């Protein structure tokens, strides 16, 4: 099989990145490479305040960069927290947001007044879920972390995970045995999905099951109103392709309607404009090669070689574009849908 699509031909969507900068350099590269970008506002302590993240996207004043809004977990114990959170969501949607982000501070950082971790299935989130379902607003959820997070640094499978958790020990669970386990993080997620069948749910980063295409597939089978994005976890799939190429390719073929392309590229004030353009183009090009060719490849995250999965053109179109339009339904009314 030979793919007819060329990288420059298809209008693509990077459905998971963070455009935390007023500078338009990354947008310029996106235009050159035929990418639209979905910037994820996140309640992260190392990001700008939520409202400032939104302002930076809106300041770009382009249909090529959209955003997903979020809410703060600050003042959880206050009687005003729920109203504040829903107001933040309403403001974000009014300003064009296409979904709401739930971040890993839920389950891994935020605690109640008694010092207990606030998990995704906490009853206080119920009115938020109800509001989202009533208004057909999807959730993009980064809950938990890669399974490597629970391993010592020298036992992790990916250099990228090793570097991240060395820099962010506050999220390295191998050193924090009193924190909720990997299994508890996923169980809280699934408790919500079993209760709320109408909740449109996109699991960021392969929904933290990146280490096993079998586990991802079983989860997608159990919860038909869910999808996953690939942001910053494609290397884990390539790692599995080393020894199970047929299984990896079959996975993408079977779940071709449930997988969204994303990178987790971050563009903030710490990045040099020319370097971010080069880095983005390199990432987008390398990923394209993996999905569209059967070339023998290497990745900087681990040792060894793997072969590209050479997906059919119709599957490439879904993963790189059509699935984002489906799983984020407000995009269907956006100019991006007509590009």
Asked if the structure places residue 228 within a domain, the reply is yes
* pLDDT, tens digit, 9 for 90 and up, residues 283-325: 999 999 999 999 999 999 999 999 999 999 999 999 999 999 9
Q: Is the pTM of this model over 0.85?
A: yes
What is the pLDDT, as a whole number, of residue 119? 98
Q: Locate tokens 């993996």: which residue?
A: 290
Asked if the structure places residue 130 within a domain, the reply is yes
The domain tally of the chain equals 1
CATH of the domain at 241: 3.20.20.140
Backbone angles phi, psi at 260, to 5 degrees: -115, 135
- Distance CA(137)–CA(139), nearest Å, equals 7
Give the domain range for residue 170. Answer: 12-338
Residues in Cβ contact with 183 at an 8 Å cutoff, skipping those fewer than 6 apart:
none
What is the pLDDT, as a whole number, of residue 3? 61
| Contact (Cβ atoms closer than 8 angstroms) between residue 13 and residue 321 | yes
Asked if the structure places residue 313 within a domain, the reply is yes
Give me 289's structure tokens: 């090669």
Asked if the structure places residue 257 within a domain, the reply is yes
Q: Locate tokens 């959820």: which residue?
A: 141
- Distance CA(206)–CA(251), nearest Å, equals 12
Residues in Cβ contact with 332 at an 8 Å cutoff, skipping those fewer than 6 apart:
325
Mean pLDDT by 10 residues, the chain (339 residues): 82 98 98 98 95 97 97 95 98 98 97 96 98 98 97 95 92 94 98 98 98 98 98 98 98 98 97 97 98 97 97 98 97 85
What is the pLDDT, as a whole number, of residue 335? 86
Asked if the structure places residue 219 within a domain, the reply is yes
| Contact (Cβ atoms closer than 8 angstroms) between residue 139 and residue 69 | no
| Contact (Cβ atoms closer than 8 angstroms) between residue 100 and residue 92 | yes
- Distance CA(121)–CA(124), nearest Å, equals 8
Asked if the structure places residue 333 within a domain, the reply is yes
Asked if the structure places residue 75 within a domain, the reply is yes
- Distance CA(99)–CA(142), nearest Å, equals 13
The torsion region of residue 200 among left (phi > 0), alpha (psi -120 to 50) and beta comes to: beta
- Distance CA(102)–CA(128), nearest Å, equals 11
| Contact (Cβ atoms closer than 8 angstroms) between residue 307 and residue 295 | yes
Give 69: exposed, middle or buried? Use CB within 10 Å, 0-12, 13-18, 19+: buried
What is the pLDDT, as a whole number, of residue 1? 52
* pLDDT, tens digit, 9 for 90 and up, residues 149-166: 999 999 999 999 999 999
Give me 250's structure tokens: 């079959």
Asked if the structure places residue 1 within a domain, the reply is no
- Distance CA(78)–CA(37), nearest Å, equals 35
């Amino acid at each position: 099989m030979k793919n007819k699509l060329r990288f420059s031909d298809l209008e693509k969507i990077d459905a998971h990145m963070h455009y935390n900068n007023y500078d338009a350099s990354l947008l310029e590269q996106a235009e050159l490479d035929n990418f639209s970008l979905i910037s994820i506002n996140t309640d992260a302590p190392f990001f700008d305040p939520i409202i400032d993240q939104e302002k930076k996207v809106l300041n770009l004043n382009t249909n090529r960069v959209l955003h997903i809004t979020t809410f703060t977990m600050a003042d959880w114990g206050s009687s005003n927290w729920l109203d504040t959170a829903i107001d933040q969501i309403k403001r974000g949607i009014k300003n064009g947001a296409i979904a709401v982000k739930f971040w890993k501070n839920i389950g891994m950082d935020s605690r109640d007044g008694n010092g207990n971790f606030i998990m995704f299935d906490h009853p206080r989130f119920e009115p938020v879920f109800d509001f989202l379902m009533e208004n057909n607003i999807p959730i993009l959820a980064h809950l938990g972390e890669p399974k490597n997070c629970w391993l010592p640094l020298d036992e992790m499978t990916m250099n990228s995970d090793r570097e991240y958790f060395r820099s962010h020990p506050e999220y390295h669970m191998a050193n924090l045995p009193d924190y909720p386990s990997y299994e508890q993080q996923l169980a809280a997620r699934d408790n919500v999905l079993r209760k709320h069948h109408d909740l449109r749910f996109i699991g960021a980063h392969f929904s933290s099951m990146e280490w096993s295409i079998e586990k991802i597939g079983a989860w997608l089978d159990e919860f038909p109103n869910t999808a996953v994005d690939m942001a910053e976890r494609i290397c884990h799939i390539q790692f599995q392709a080393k020894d199970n190429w047929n299984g990896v390719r079959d996975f993408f073929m079977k779940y071709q309607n449930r997988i969204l392309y994303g990178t987790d590229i971050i563009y903030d004030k710490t990045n040099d404009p020319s370097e971010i353009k080069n880095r983005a183009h390199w990432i987008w090009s390398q990923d394209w090669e993996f999905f569209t060719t059967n070339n023998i490849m290497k990745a900087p995250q681990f040792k060894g070689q793997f072969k590209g999965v050479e997906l059919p053109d119709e599957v490439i179109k879904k993963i790189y574009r059509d699935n984002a339009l489906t799983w984020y339904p407000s995009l269907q009314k956006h100019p991006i849908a007509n590009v």
